[in-house]
Structure 1
């Protein structure tokens, strides 16, 4: 939890239990395509509420992580609730994240399918580093360092990209990007219906 191991954790994170579901922005909306503002006010009830709502929204959408601009908030903040390749669950949030540069001798790219809650439906193969270290602050302004490998590393890179105004489809060749967006248009209604069904099941 938040970079520290715990003995047990509920299936539904307490933040998701408390939070309300917000609308997820979709590729093409302006807020997804520009760099977000840094978080400057820590320890506020508003920031805590936003984090709770992001966890609830991510839970309903069955996501691994969610950035603030995906709920139409212009802040450098993301949350995650993800089980990695080794069966370890990671739950947390980070504000103003900065990815460490990985030395060339330790850079290993892995090509795996990747999706996005703001591109509902399609998955495409995207190369990502198999290890990531991200530094930032928690909701109270305390320094935070999170390290991930494999799928969790992919999540940390994907969400940090969001806060810079980039989506995974921006990493695709033009033809592949167009194909992914066509697929999204064909499948998004089904995805939205599934999210609504999960929300009803959770009483959200």
Structure 2
């Protein structure tokens, strides 16, 4: 490792490199390209009150001025390429989940199922205090849909091929079977 120079570093005038670093020239151009073009069009140097000039072709009130749209960064695509949607104030994580909700609502109306519920949490491990006095959070599994069919509780989760293989989901699915004795039915 090389020895660092004391800070603030003093560089003699005329030096072009220090070690492998290039020293910037403090001499700045008198005008930027944009300022030069404005000067060529109007004849007013940018250091004068060109912004207060009513004949300035680039003033905000002139007809050549255009407002750029809000240029924010585009939203990042969801990890599993799902499209979040909403119906009657109910928010769904995907269109497939929403369409399955419609299917279950029709089954409930026909009397095939009862007690249809959406986004039902199940506690998998309780909140516990560690030996050092800090607390470990409880873990839970949130089922997409639960309902009763012939008196038995059915838990359904809408999953794609990719999310079905998710390690966290697989672990929680196994804990649901172990802790509550419930098999999660995956809807493809």
TM-score by length of 1: 0.18
Q: Which has the larger radius of gyration?
A: 2
More helix by percentage: 1
TM-score by length of 2: 0.19
